[in-house]
Amino acid sequence: GESVGLHLPTLSVQEGDNSIINCAYSNSASDYFIWYKQESGKGPQFIIDIRSNMDKRQGQRVTVLLNKTVKHLSLQIAATQPGDSAVYFCAAPSGSARQLTFGSGTQLTVLP
């Protein structure tokens, strides 16, 4: 199966700086990855996804980078804002049923 894990449980950044949240995965056959954002008291919200045939994908202020050689992906948030404060999860399908396995999450705190 797949296991995904985030490198740091917490991350603090200054407002306006860029944030980088990292994630490692174990299954080299994994072909799809998703990043979710979870604000306090709410359910996870889809941010961006990437397939394994890509190295990089950009969205609005967010970029996901995938390094298949070292089985690592990162979420970059440009010009971090207070509204970006949340827990961020990476996830990947695993098992014969291809259900999502989530990492444990990184709490991002944006400092004024």
DSSP per-residue letters across 37-81: EE-TTS--EEEEEEETT-SEEE-SSEEEEEETTTTEEEEEESS--
- Judged by CB under 8 A, how many residues of this single chain contact other proteins? 24
Token code pair at residue 107 = 């709490």
Residues within window 41-100 making contact with other proteins, judged by CB under 8 A: 41-46, 49, 51, 89, 91, 93-94, 97-100
User: Pick from 24, 32, 71, 76: which binds other proteins (CB under 8 A)?
Assistant: 32
What is the binding site for other proteins (CB under 8 A)? Answer: 31-32, 34, 41-46, 49, 51, 89, 91, 93-94, 97-105
